[in-house]
Structure 1
Amino acid sequence: MSQEKLMVGQINGVFGVAGWVKIFSHTEPRQNILAYSPWWIKCKGEWRQVKVLDSKVQQGGKTLVALLEGVPDRDVAREYMGCDIAIDRNQLKNPEENLYWIDLIGCTVTNQDGIVLGEITEMVETGVHDVMRVKGEHSDLIPFVMERFVVSVDIVNKRINVIWDIEPLEETL
């Protein structure tokens, strides 16, 4: 696979006897993973490109299932359990116009005083707004709210500038 792959989910079970697999999705909303085909599936340490022949949202929207090319029955589907699912970056809708969490991971975060707070290791969904988990000398959880906390995002140079005060360390006696 020559392009950058983006992790979008994992196969976490089998569904029925005809080769369908259950999908755990990292996309938001969860069913967006079903809009992509082909998928790259990492099975036994190797990436394979697999076409999605059919997909469905089951059980009131809680379970995602897919029928994959080359998976004719339940026994073959079992071999894919635990395998990661990725897509090519060029499959994203308007990648140049939208920010994706994958683009924020690894960015260096600097505050308004020019102090490097650390690097984003994870994005967390809280319900109210997304939060950056920043690890480094000044580790913290910082809301990803443009103009309120996030001043600028430079994906090319992997830098994010925020309005965030550093708590002074308490002196020990």
Structure 2
Amino acid sequence: MNAPDTGQRMITVGRLHGAFGVRGEVKLESFTDPLHAIARYQPWILRDARGQQRSCEGVKVREGVKGLIASMTGVEDRDAADALRGVDVLVPRSALPPPADGEYYWVDLEGLRVVNAEGVDFGTVSHLFSTGANDVLVAKGDRERMIPFVQPDFIRSVDFEAGLVTVDWDADF
């Protein structure tokens, strides 16, 4: 499983969860919104737990009763499909369409510095996650802070040119 290093920033857009049926189809978890949009971003780079990668083109995705199902060239039977269990699906960041005004891809926020309104440095954006109620920005610096990604209540501004996220968050919290 080896793919050439494209030198581009890669984004995880899904994960394979083993065989579906006996014809080589694979259960697919999509991290895109909407879920079926994952089929638009090809070729896929498949990366296993050891970091081995390979390129995969011409993937067909369909909706099953319990989620998405993918079929790939070269995956012809249940054993080959099950061997893909836990494999991540990545695409170059450049494959994604530009976000709408005022929207951001989480991956674009990662690495930005985070400061509060008083200028206290909270470190950098480590990652974001969803709680269902709202998204949460995780800033790692002298310690880890979890800040609700609610604009303008807690997230005051995002300045990509300055590489800075300004938050309304108490430094002691």
TM-score, length-normalised on structure 2? 0.83
Q: Is the contact made by 2:39 and 2:59 (CA closer than 8 Å) also made in structure 1?
A: no
Give the equivalent residue in structure 1 for 2:72.
Answer: 68
Give the equivalent residue in structure 1 for 2:3.
Answer: none
Q: Does residue 127 of the first structure (1) align with residue 129 of the second (2)? A: no
Q: Which runs of 5+ in 2 are unaligned?
A: 1-5
Residue 145 of structure 1: SS of its match in structure 2?
coil
- Deviation, structure 1 residue 78: 2.2
Residue 33 of structure 1: SS of its match in structure 2?
helix
Question: What is the letter of the counterpart of residue 2 of structure 1?
Answer: G
Same amino acid, percent of matched pairs: 36
- Deviation, structure 1 residue 158: 3.3
Give the equivalent residue in structure 2 for 1:49.
Answer: 55
Pick which of 90-99 and 125-134 moved more.
90-99
Q: Which runs of 5+ in 1 are unaligned?
A: 169-173
Give the equivalent residue in structure 2 for 1:33.
Answer: 38
Separation in 2, partners of 1:2, 1:19: 31
Give the equivalent residue in structure 1 for 2:108.
Answer: 103
Question: What is the letter of the counterpart of residue 103 of structure 1?
Answer: D
| Two-structure CA RMSD over aligned residues (Å) | 2.2
Separation in 2, partners of 1:149, 1:53: 40
TM-score, length-normalised on structure 1? 0.83
Separation in 2, partners of 1:90, 1:147: 28
Q: Does residue 80 of the first structure (1) align with residue 84 of the second (2)? A: yes
Q: Is the contact made by 2:75 and 2:81 (CA closer than 8 Å) also made in structure 1?
A: yes
Number of residue pairs aligned between Structure 1 and Structure 2? 166
Question: What is the letter of the counterpart of residue 15 of structure 1?
Answer: F
Task: Select the residue among 70, 90, 97 that pairs with 1:93.
Answer: 97
Separation in 1, partners of 2:124, 2:42: 32
Task: Select the residue among 147, 150, 161 that pairs with 1:142.
Answer: 147
Separation in 1, partners of 2:96, 2:18: 26
Separation in 1, partners of 2:125, 2:92: 22
Pick which of 133-142 and 14-23 moved more.
133-142
Residues 15 and 52 of structure 1, relative CA distance in 2, 3 Å threshold: farther
Which of the pair has more CA radius of gyration? 1
